[in-house]
């Protein structure tokens, strides 16, 4: 809440002396609400507010077209475009008069109009209370039309206070951004330089030009919602009837029904005082209007105030800002909830309380509750979507968010200075759970950084022409607010952007916009496009020998504060004629391309050219072999396509561009994760190891997987022809090992090709029961496994395992991997990943043999898929295998019923300890759960938990059980980094095998017997293989 000074307090005291009075009445032409100081009227003819009079002063002026009105509602929501409700014969009104829970009288008017062509309605409420000089507004949009289930997107929804009077002299966007309103003369001499942007510099004596800028655009007065409290217009007394000052303000007393969260920015004032409830500005998503859409926005509060001749803009603004509090007037809103459909009274709200353990260095931390399962920047998919946020105390991590409607939310936390986000879905908020929740934000990197550029604060404001003031005028607005072409890129960067880490300054040497081309169209100052040294930016940095020691995988993290692809603000549209609808962005290191990442159009928005530095925030991690780095000077080149343009329908520059939040390289030196016990460090190391195991990376390796699987199919075919018993377990292990060799080291070990265990490497890996012991006893593991002499001399049987991995990897990457890297990676990926995958493959086949009805259903599903053109490649594609739901259910059931891993899942109790049930364990206690116990629990899975039953995955509630209790790949920070690879291998191999072959045991009565190492390994169970008669 903003404290207001002596003059504002005196003003409030003066208003309070008036006699209490409230009237709500209907006349022949109007609905009137008035109290001692404020009189407002809604016209029956147009359904709009046409009179706002404060203490005798007319704040609107005469009606003329769409001016002299407000607050009134309009929308971009009908097939033809915009609609201003209130003009049809189908409109109706309601008049309210009552006393709220505090004993204060109130009156209200509701206007509802129907757009007959589509049967959509908009309703607008205005409420006035006794003793207040402001209006409480609610807006409703409803659409019920089964014949046309999808109408269109709700492009804009807004209320407008749109005066037609010379009373108003100044615009106020925020405490630090205000200006005189340009004069009529300035507008009459203006030159349009861009859509909604004019050059006013021809009128040199205009107050706006003299004090603020030569350029005017409504986008200059845009604010991000996070800390925004109030905006409006100010009358300095020079044009009022008695020399008094006045203010007209839109107060953000609540923000729950807006979209986009605290990073959303929008238009607020330009001579009109806006309340933008929905818009696509800056690429913000908007909801679809579909049959059954019915949503209420509000409450919002338009406040009107009056001061003496010397009362400043800041003082009247502070008077309005005191109401920017969601708890203000709660009892009043409870009392009128009966009149406003879908508004939730206090009985359905509570205070969300939490304590969040923040990363070190977190500044201005904030907690956001929003639509569950969605990025809060895109929270438009659920028509009941709500959003709330509050600052977190950085010292204690405590946060409270009042008046949250009960429900299930996503919790997002971010902070200045910290890369990434903390995200937690399924956060239940209810009155029954008002105790403070506990969360821990594990940062993306717990180690040191090699370097960073910029401040991760979700904005591009720290760079050149961002937040720096324009010192050419007295009011010194931030430079990014001014027309973009004023900041001439060729003049600022004649040689392009070349940034040297440790020497260059972000505020001078890194531009706030990375253009593909510096455009000429819509460029008033440089009408010809400029291409040279624009689209490629260079970052130089030095590394010493120590920096490169034990280097493994490097990562360049790029956080974007905005991007404009060829889609502009129209992020959802398919634009086949625009080649840069999705925008390629390339990173090269020392002359070699690292990756070309295609930025999806759903993140697009006109940002920099619309005076923006905070738009859609997202990031990407560009991973590269650390061997590509060198001692001395290294160089990244960040590239947009040369002259990547689009066709604009308005006067706007048709160039693509990105805007950076921050960039960094974290420490890329490798440490074996089995030796790490600290959860933060372990999570960071797991991320380093899993860099090649993201789903996108795995899918890029699908061709290599197919080549290995084809060798397995060859052996199956051979045994089918000879009708000899096959030790399928061995061939599955050969396959699993070679798949890891292909994916991890880009070369197969040759086991499945040869059909044998080369050098006994796999046999020694079977003895990897060492992992169970040494995984917990770090010193023993370092002595025996990390000593190359012991492995070379074969003191431990894993020597051949390491040597096989090292020989392959060193042939491929002689300058990338040290011996320690090879050993650690071989231990983690081969000893763990290969055996677990092989065991899972065996488990599926064994249980299919033992459950012929389930196998018959799998065959039926496969035959249906084949008839519909799926699964017809030599090795079934991962995409096709995912479309076989019963097969996937059988895979999950095999993993549940026979989890390959015997080890428990250990966790260390955090600081303060942890309570489980009725027992409390002190900090540092190692706690474990057995996957087998969880997976076979009748309390969780029901009375048939210890039976193989794929049908369970189609029962009601199966998705919840899967999310909470199905943990074949672990959970949390210690989960398996290769789970995407494992799922792809299982899906592709098993779909192909069940399609092509019948498998039966040599001895149908032989039970499957297993032995526990690190994994639960099945002993030999020979089978016969027979080719199925399938035409593919």
pLDDT tens-digit readout, 955-1007: 999 888 988 888 887 766 566 666 777 888 999 999 999 999 999 999 888 88
Same domain (yes/no): 685, 613: no
Q: What is the mean pLDDT of the chain?
A: 87
Return the pLDDT at 772.
38
Residue 957 lies in a domain: no
d(C-alpha 304, C-alpha 644), whole Å: 48
Whether residue 111 is found in the same domain as residue 255: yes
Strand partners, 437: 354
β-strands 536-543, 498-500 pairing:
parallel
State which residues form the domain around 652. 449-669
Q: Which of 199-208, 576-585, 764-773, 868-877 has the lowest mean pLDDT?
A: 764-773
399: domain CATH number? Answer: 2.60.40
Our count of domains for the chain comes to 5
> Does residue 929 or residue 364 have the better pLDDT?
364
Per-residue confidence (pLDDT) for residue 836, from 0 to 100 = 82
Q: Give the torsion sign (CA, 720, 725, 728, 734).
A: negative
Where does 17-154 show beta strands of DSSP type E? 22-26, 30-35, 38-43, 49-54, 57-58, 69-78, 81-83, 92-99, 105-115, 120-129, 134-143, 150-153
Residues 120 and 177 in one domain: yes
- At residue 761, the pLDDT reads 58
DSSP at 834: I
In angstroms, rounded to a whole number, what is the distance separating the alpha carbons of residues 248 and 164?
13
Q: Are 101 and 134 within one domain?
A: yes
Asked if residue 142 is part of any domain, the answer here is yes
- Asked if 539 and 452 touch (Cβ cutoff 8 Å), the reply is no
Contact 308, 240 (CB under 8 A): no
The per-residue pLDDT for 447 is 53
Distance between CA atoms of residues 559 and 60, nearest Å: 45
Res 268 pLDDT > 80: yes
Cα distances (Å, whole numbers) of residue 957 to 954, 960, 961: 8, 5, 6
Asked whether residue 946 is assigned to any structural domain, the reply reads no
Q: Which of the pair, 431 or 778, is modelled with greater confidence? A: 431
Segment 155-167 shows an average pLDDT of 99
Instruction: Identify the pLDDT of residue 175.
Output: 96
Q: Is 521 among the domain residues?
A: yes
State residue 415's pLDDT score. 98
3-state secondary structure of 383: coil
Say whether pLDDT at 817 is over 50.
no
Residue at 504 is within a domain: yes
Q: How far apart are CA 76 and CA 96, in angstroms?
A: 29
Please check the confidence at residue 294 and state whether its pLDDT lies above 90.
yes
CATH classification at residue 552: 2.60.120.260
Percent helix, percent strand, percent coil in the chain, to nearest 5: 30, 30, 40
Asked whether the predicted pLDDT for residue 771 surpasses 60, the reply is no
- Specify whether 309 is located in the same domain as 458: no
C-alpha 373/C-alpha 378 separation (Å) is 10
- Residue 498 confidence (pLDDT) above 50: yes
Residue at a domain's end among 629, 646, 669: 669
Quick one: 662 and 687 in the same domain? no
Q: Would you say residue 841 lies in a domain? A: yes
Residue 61 near residue 49 (C-beta atoms within 8 A): no
**Alpha helices of 464-602 — where are they, by DSSP H?**
489-492, 506-509, 545-548
Q: Do residues 128 and 40 make contact, with C-beta atoms less than 8 angstroms apart?
A: yes
What share of the chain has pLDDT > 70, as a percent?
A: 84
In the beta sheet, which residues pair with residue 623? 555
Shared domain check, 915 and 897: no
Looking at the fold, whether 998 and 868 belong to one and the same domain comes out as: yes
150 and 194: one domain?
yes
Residue 958 maps to a domain: no
Q: What tokens were used for 920?
A: 């409390």
CB atoms under 10 Å from CB of 711, counted, come to 20
pLDDT digits (tens, 9 = 90+) for 231-247: 999 999 999 999 999 99
Mean pLDDT of 192-219: 98
Res. 770: pLDDT tops 60 = no
Residue 949 lies in a domain: no
Are 608 and 548 part of one and the same domain?
yes
Residues 780 and 740 in one domain: yes
User: CA-CA distances (angstroms) from residue 551 to 547, 548, 555, 677, 815?
Assistant: 8, 5, 11, 21, 10
Same domain, 519 and 564: yes
Q: pLDDT for 380-427, tens place per residue?
A: 999 999 999 999 999 999 999 999 999 999 999 999 999 999 999 999
Query: What percentage of residues in the chain have a pLDDT greater than 90?
Result: 70
CATH no. for residue 893?
1.10.630.10
Q: State pLDDT tens for residues 778-791.
A: 333 333 333 332 33
The 10s digit of each residue's pLDDT in 317-349 is 999 999 999 999 999 999 999 999 999 999 999
pLDDT at position 679, please?
Answer: 55
Would you state the pLDDT for residue 688?
Answer: 44
Last residue of a domain, one of 609, 639, 669: 669
Domain boundary among 639, 669, 699: 669
pLDDT tens for residues 527-555? Answer: 999 999 999 999 999 999 888 876 677 89
The number of beta carbons lying within 10 Å of the beta carbon of residue 632 is: 9
Q: What pLDDT shows up at residue 1012?
A: 62
């Amino acid at each position: 809440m903003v404290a207001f000074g002596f003059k504002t307090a005196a003003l409030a005291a003066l208003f309070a002396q008036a006699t209490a009075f409230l009237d709500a009445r209907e006349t022949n032409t109007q609905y009137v609400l008035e109290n001692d100081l404020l009189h407002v009227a809604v016209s029956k003819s147009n359904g709009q507010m046409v009179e706002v009079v404060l203490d005798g002063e007319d704040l609107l002026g005469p009606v003329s077209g769409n001016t002299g009105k407000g607050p009134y509602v309009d929308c971009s929501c009908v097939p033809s475009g915009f609609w201003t409700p209130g003009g049809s014969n189908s409109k109706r009104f309601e008049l309210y008069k009552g006393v709220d829970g505090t004993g204060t009288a109130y009156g209200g008017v509701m206007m509802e109009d129907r757009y007959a062509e589509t049967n959509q309605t908009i309703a607008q409420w205005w409420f006035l209370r006794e003793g207040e000089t402001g209006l409480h507004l609610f807006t409703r949009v409803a659409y019920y039309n089964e014949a046309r289930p999808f109408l269109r997107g709700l492009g804009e929804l807004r209320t407008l206070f749109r005066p037609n009077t010379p009373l108003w002299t100044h615009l106020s966007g925020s405490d630090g951004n205000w200006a005189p309103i340009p004069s009529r003369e300035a507008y009459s001499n203006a030159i349009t330089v861009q859509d909604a942007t004019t050059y006013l510099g021809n009128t040199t004596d205009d107050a706006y030009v003299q004090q603020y800028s030569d350029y005017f655009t409504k986008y200059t007065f845009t604010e991000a919602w996070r800390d925004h409290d109030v905006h409006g217009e100010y009358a300095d007394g020079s044009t009022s009837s008695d020399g008094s000052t006045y203010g007209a303000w839109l107060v953000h007393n609540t923000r729950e029904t807006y979209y986009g969260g605290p990073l959303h920015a929008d238009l607020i004032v330009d001579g009109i005082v806006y309340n933008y409830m929905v818009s696509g500005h800056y690429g913000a998503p908007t909801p679809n209007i579909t049959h059954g859409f019915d949503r209420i926005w509000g409450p919002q509060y338009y406040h009107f105030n009056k001061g003496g001749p010397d009362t400043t803009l800041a003082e009247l603004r502070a008077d309005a800002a005191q109401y920017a509090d969601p708890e203000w007037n709660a009892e009043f809103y409870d009392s009128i909830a009966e009149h406003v459909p879908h508004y939730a009274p206090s009985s359905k709200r509570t205070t969300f309380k939490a304590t969040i353990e923040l990363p070190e260095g977190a500044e201005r931390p904030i907690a956001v509750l929003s639509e569950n399962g969605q990025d809060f920047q895109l929270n438009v998919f659920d028509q009941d979507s709500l959003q709330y946020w509050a600052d977190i105390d950085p010292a204690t991590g405590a946060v409270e968010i009042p008046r949250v409607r009960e429900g299930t939310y996503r919790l997002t936390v971010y902070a200045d200075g910290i890369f990434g986000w903390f995200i937690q879905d399924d956060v239940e908020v209810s009155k029954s759970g008002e105790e403070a929740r506990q969360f821990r934000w594990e940062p993306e990197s717990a180690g040191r950084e090699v370097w960073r550029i910029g401040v991760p604060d979700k904005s591009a404001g720290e760079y050149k022409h961002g937040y720096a003031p324009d010192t050419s005028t007295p009011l010194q607005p931030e430079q990014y607010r001014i027309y973009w072409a004023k900041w001439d890129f060729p003049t600022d960067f004649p040689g392009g952007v070349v940034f040297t880490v440790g020497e260059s300054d972000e505020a001078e040497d890194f531009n706030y916009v990375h253009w593909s081309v510096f455009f000429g169209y819509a460029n008033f100052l440089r009408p010809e496009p400029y291409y040279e040294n624009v689209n490629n930016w260079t970052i130089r940095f030095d590394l010493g020998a120590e920096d490169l020691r034990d280097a493994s995988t490097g990562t360049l993290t790029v956080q974007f504060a905005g991007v404009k692809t060829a889609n502009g603000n129209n992020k959802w549209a398919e634009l086949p004629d625009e080649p840069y609808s999705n925008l390629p962005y390339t990173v090269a290191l020392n002359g070699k391309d690292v990756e070309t990442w295609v930025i999806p159009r759903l993140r697009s928005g006109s940002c920099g050219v619309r005076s923006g530095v905070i738009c859609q925030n997202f990031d990407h991690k560009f991973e590269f072999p650390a061997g590509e780095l060198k001692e001395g000077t290294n160089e990244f080149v960040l590239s947009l396509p040369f002259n990547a343009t689009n066709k604009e329908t308005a006067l706007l520059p048709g160039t693509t561009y990105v805007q950076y939040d921050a960039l960094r390289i974290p420490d890329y030196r490798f440490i074996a994760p089995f030796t790490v016990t600290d959860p933060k460090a372990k999570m960071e190391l797991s991320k380093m190891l899993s860099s090649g195991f993201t789903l996108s990376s795995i899918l890029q390796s699908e061709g290599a997987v197919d080549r290995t699987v084809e060798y397995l199919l060859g052996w199956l075919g051979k045994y089918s022809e000879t009708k000899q018993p096959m030790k399928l377990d061995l061939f599955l292990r050969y396959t699993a090992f070679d798949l890891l060799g292909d994916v991890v080291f880009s070369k197969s070990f040759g086991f499945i090709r040869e059909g044998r265990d080369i050098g006994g490497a796999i046999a020694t890996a079977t003895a990897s029961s060492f992992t169970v012991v040494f995984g917990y006893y770090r010193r023993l593991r370092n002595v025996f496994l990390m000593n190359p002499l012991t492995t070379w001399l074969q003191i431990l049987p894993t020597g051949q395992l390491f040597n096989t991995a090292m020989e392959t990897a060193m042939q491929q990457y002689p300058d990338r991997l040290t011996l320690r890297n090879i050993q650690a990676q071989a231990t983690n990926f081969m000893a763990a990943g290969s055996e677990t995958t092989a065991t899972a493959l065996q488990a599926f086949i064994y249980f299919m043999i033992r459950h012929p009805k389930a196998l018959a259903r799998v065959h039926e599903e496969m035959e249906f898929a084949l008839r519909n053109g799926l699964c017809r490649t030599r090795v079934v594609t991962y995409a096709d295998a995912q479309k076989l739901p019963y097969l996937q259910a059988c895979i999950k059931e095999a993993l549940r019923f026979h989890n390959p891993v015997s080890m428990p899942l250990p966790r260390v109790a955090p600081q303060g300890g942890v309570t489980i049930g009725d027992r409390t364990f002190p900090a540092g206690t190692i706690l474990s759960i057995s996957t087998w116990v969880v997976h076979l629990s009748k309390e969780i899975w029901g009375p048939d938990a210890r039976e193989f039953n794929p049908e369970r995955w189609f029962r009601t509630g199966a998705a919840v059980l899967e999310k909470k209790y199905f943990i074949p790949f672990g959970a949390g920070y210690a989960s398996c980094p290769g789970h995407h690879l494992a799922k792809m291998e299982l899906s592709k191999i098993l779909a192909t095998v069940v399609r092509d072959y019948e498998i039966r045991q040599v001895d149908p009565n032989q039970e499957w017997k297993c032995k526990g190492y690190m994994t639960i390994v099945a002993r030999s169970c020979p089978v016969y293989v027979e080719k199925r008669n399938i035409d593919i």
